[in-house]
Amino acid sequence: MTPPDGNGAGGLVGKGVARPNVKRLIHGRGRYTDDISVPHMLHIAFVRSPYGHARINGIDTSMAAEAPGVVRIVTAAEVAEICEPMVAIAAHRPGHKSAPQHAMAVDHACYQGEPVAAVVAASRAEAEDAADLVIVEYEELPAVMDILEALDPASPPIHPDLGDNRCFEHTTVTGDAPVALSNAAFTVEQDFEFGRHTAVTLEGRAILAHWDTVEERLTVHHSHQSPYQMQDVFSRHLGIPEHRVRVITPDIGGGFGLKINVHGEELAVAAIAKMLGKPVKFTADRLESFAADCQTRDHIATAKMGVDGDGRITSMDFENALSVGAYTAYIRFGLAEGMMAITCAAAPYALTDYHARTRVAYVNKGIVGMFRGVGVPVGCAVTEVLVDQAAAKAEIDPVEFRRKNYHRDEDYPLTSVGGYAAKYMSLHRCLDACVDIMDYDGLRAEQAAQRENNVWRGVGVATFVEAAAFGPVYYGPSGARVSTQDGCTVKLEPTGVVRVMTSVTDQGQGTLTGIAQIVGDQLGIGMDDIDVIAGDSATTPYGGGAWASRGMAMGGEAALQAGKALKGNILDLAASVLQTTADALTLEEGEIRDAATGEARMDLAELAKVGYFRQDTLPGGTQPELMVTRHHVPDTPYYVANGVQGAHVEVDIETGFIKLLGWWVADDCGRVVNPLMVDEQIRGGVIQGIGNTLYEHSQYDETGQLLNATLADYLLPMAGEMPDIKIAHVETPLTNTELGANGIGESGTIGAIAALWCAVNDALRPLGAQVTKQPFTPEHVLEVIAAARG
């Protein structure tokens, strides 16, 4: 591949322009939160509950306070005096119960790793030494660990004020699934488990907070996806006027949704900074990340699908339950894991009768927060596994079976049986594209031939949907202070170059590059003439930051509209200078040109000079506006992206090991602003999905002890085992916006999980075996093969 040219004529959107902000990272000149040191900075180490569930009867800090370097020991109760607890209540979800969560556990620790006290010292090492000397008197309580046990009203409540451990329940009924299932020509049914795992951002959560005692201002450098959200949270919980809170998000070493959550330690650090009037820093180490980062998934499910005599899916029943840990995650609600699963299940298919229930339980584990895909992978995997089983039972090829059962192109817009509202989904085109690039028929022929050699290969083709760029229709009624709009300011500088300030933040996705491309095209300038600034709540437009794959879909549209508006202002000013009308002019390659002849009339730098320094040459009263801001608010609950993934695997039925032989993705994320970035979002997402499905599992014992909190024990995908991934783009520009870009951040992960479930089960089907538990450990694979063999 030839490195792309960022300054070519003919438009930047659609080109694989390299990221201007990546070079410093490759040269070791990134600036992550932990890299920042300020004078008089102190360090925090947390004392954490070693128990899954315990009452805290007392804390003796006297020995720790005497340890070298220690400045102060701060207990949970002291922080609680100046910091409001977090209460995540989803106002749009009747029946949702949620207990207050203090920044640190005051008298009741509900999961292993929950912070109980903070040691502030001159160095992190000294803070850790002293943390070991804090004596906490715990009284261990019975831990509730199992989802179904927790859903039993008789189980001992973790939060007595809530009465029981039932957090939330929701049932979706469309048509009459019980009747349709009983009338079906045949049904298929399976139990599922999706193990709990965690995000594993390579950079742990990090925060440096500084309270200016004179001006009474809080400045926070924070490894977080949304500086605006955290400005709001610090302001409200610590009672600081919002304009005196500034949150800066420097380079961030991985987000994946983890860093949109609010974690107790982060509130505690800001509170302690205010208490001490000194800068304090906290960076989570790997053990702390495993134990106290928000986790994800942890679902069990039973699902059943009914098919008629013509091989058409008529109906589905989906019984889902999950645990969200000890609290409802602040500020976005872990119960979305279940809601998204039952909403997105069956979304590609034209069935009519659906019954689904999600039940959400509190257990003594880490809190389930946002993570790439949020429940959608579960809904997609459950559906696709049943679709494959139904195809097999109907003796129809699974690709053909999907084609037959997808919504027809003429049926849009539609709302799926689960309530997933789609203006359009390019399902048929994505399926055709995926089957084409993977040489599906060739793989099937090879699979059949290899079975003669006792080699068990599987081909999985899975359909996925991605609900991207959630808007106010969804979040407004929830009552959560989640900003569902994004903004962009475009400023012409006096030399004719442009600064762009966006509310979108970039953890490596390349969104800031895409925004530069969009603005560049509006103003007719190249990448070298644009600088993008993001991640500072005090200076950039207010918005969401980075979550739900919104960077291009929303931030990109705001950038397009801001660039377009600035172009209008520039041409108005130029018309005034050139004594013509704006519509007779155009802006190309840094020049203002005659629209009819293409003749250069003046360059942008000359115009900017007039606008900023030589207003005396303009007609009286002219007010040049060379900085413009626009925001974008989506008009639907979310934008709908979709695609199909293909996986080729080989299962060693003697050892249970699964080898990945090939991977293909046909994705439709609307307008592709930068194919290089889009492909890398897909590839990275797929590999995370593979990790989630094959390796990753946060394992707790029955007392709430986390058993595998190191990178040696918690397995992740490494380069050696991962496949190359071939990608095809099906580009259906979104009609909701002028830009037409849709979400891409989560598609890879969502589809990969379903594709791997399908591929492994395809390999095992002739043996009469099916995997049912994620991750597919060799032990589980051997177990299901042995069970099938009786």
Where does this chain bind other proteins (CB under 8 A)?
A: 1, 3-4, 18-19, 22-23, 25-32, 34-35, 37, 63, 66-69, 123, 125-126, 129, 133, 200-204, 251-256, 285-286, 507-510, 676-677, 680, 683-688, 710-712, 716-720, 722, 724-725, 748
63 vs 87, beta carbon nearer other proteins: 63
Look up residue 223 and give its DSSP letter.
-
37 vs 597, beta carbon nearer other proteins: 37
Nearest approach in angstroms of CB 746 to other proteins is: 14
- Degrees to nearest 5, angle at CA 520 with 516 and 526: 100
584 vs 722, beta carbon nearer other proteins: 722
Coil vs helix vs strand at 374: coil
Distance from C-alpha of 72 to C-alpha of 785, rounded to nearest angstrom = 58
Taking CA atoms, 215 is separated from 39, 211, 219, 455, 539, in Å, by: 18, 9, 11, 71, 18
Nearest approach in angstroms of CB 685 to other proteins is: 8
Helix ranges restricted to H, 417-556: 427-438, 440-451, 472-475, 511-523
Distance from C-alpha of 724 to C-alpha of 745, rounded to nearest angstrom = 19
Does a cis peptide bond (omega within 30 degrees of 0) precede residue 624? no
Q: What is the dihedral of CA 86, 92, 94, 100, to 10 degrees?
A: 0
Least Cα distance to 202 among 314, 112, 85, 284 occurs for: 284
200 vs 382, beta carbon nearer other proteins: 200
Nearest approach in angstroms of CB 279 to other proteins is: 16
Q: Work out the end-to-end distance of the chain between its first and last CA atoms, rounded to an integer number of angstroms.
A: 52
Beta carbons within 8 Å of 107's beta carbon, 6+ residues apart: 55, 56, 57, 77
In the block, tokens 């108005």 appear at 572
623 vs 710, beta carbon nearer other proteins: 710
Nearest approach in angstroms of CB 681 to other proteins is: 9
Nearest approach in angstroms of CB 27 to other proteins is: 4
Residue 73, phi then psi, degrees to nearest 5: -110, 130
Look up residue 707 and give its DSSP letter.
S
Nearest approach in angstroms of CB 252 to other proteins is: 6
Nearest approach in angstroms of CB 513 to other proteins is: 9
Q: Order of strands across the sheet with 206-212?
A: 70-75, 115-121, 42-48, 280-283, 206-212, 217-222, 245-248
634 vs 684, beta carbon nearer other proteins: 684
- List 108's β-bridge partners, or say none: 55
Look up residue 736 and give its DSSP letter.
S
Nearest approach in angstroms of CB 16 to other proteins is: 8
243 vs 659, beta carbon nearer other proteins: 659
Distance from C-alpha of 581 to C-alpha of 574, rounded to nearest angstrom = 9
Cβ atoms of 644 and 433 closer than 8 Å: yes
251 vs 466, beta carbon nearer other proteins: 251
Distance from C-alpha of 187 to C-alpha of 697, rounded to nearest angstrom = 31
315 vs 509, beta carbon nearer other proteins: 509
Cβ atoms of 247 and 231 closer than 8 Å: yes
Least Cα distance to 525 among 4, 6, 3 occurs for: 6
79 vs 284, beta carbon nearer other proteins: 284
126 vs 353, beta carbon nearer other proteins: 126
711 vs 767, beta carbon nearer other proteins: 711
Measured from the Cβ of residue 26, the count of other Cβ atoms closer than 10 Å reads 9
308 vs 721, beta carbon nearer other proteins: 721
Taking CA atoms, 521 is separated from 15, 78, 149, 603, 789, in Å, by: 11, 54, 57, 16, 62
Q: From the centroid of its chain, how far is CA 522?
A: 29
Cβ atoms of 2 and 16 closer than 8 Å: no
162 vs 287, beta carbon nearer other proteins: 287
Nearest approach in angstroms of CB 543 to other proteins is: 20
Coil vs helix vs strand at 44: strand
Cβ atoms of 57 and 139 closer than 8 Å: yes
331 vs 687, beta carbon nearer other proteins: 687
The answer to whether the Cα torsion of 415, 421, 423, 424 is positive or negative is: negative
68 vs 768, beta carbon nearer other proteins: 68
Cβ atoms of 216 and 229 closer than 8 Å: no
Nearest approach in angstroms of CB 674 to other proteins is: 9
374 vs 686, beta carbon nearer other proteins: 686
Nearest approach in angstroms of CB 528 to other proteins is: 15
Taking CA atoms, 397 is separated from 71, 444, 455, 517, 702, in Å, by: 69, 10, 21, 43, 43
Nearest approach in angstroms of CB 417 to other proteins is: 33
Least Cα distance to 9 among 491, 598, 561, 494 occurs for: 598
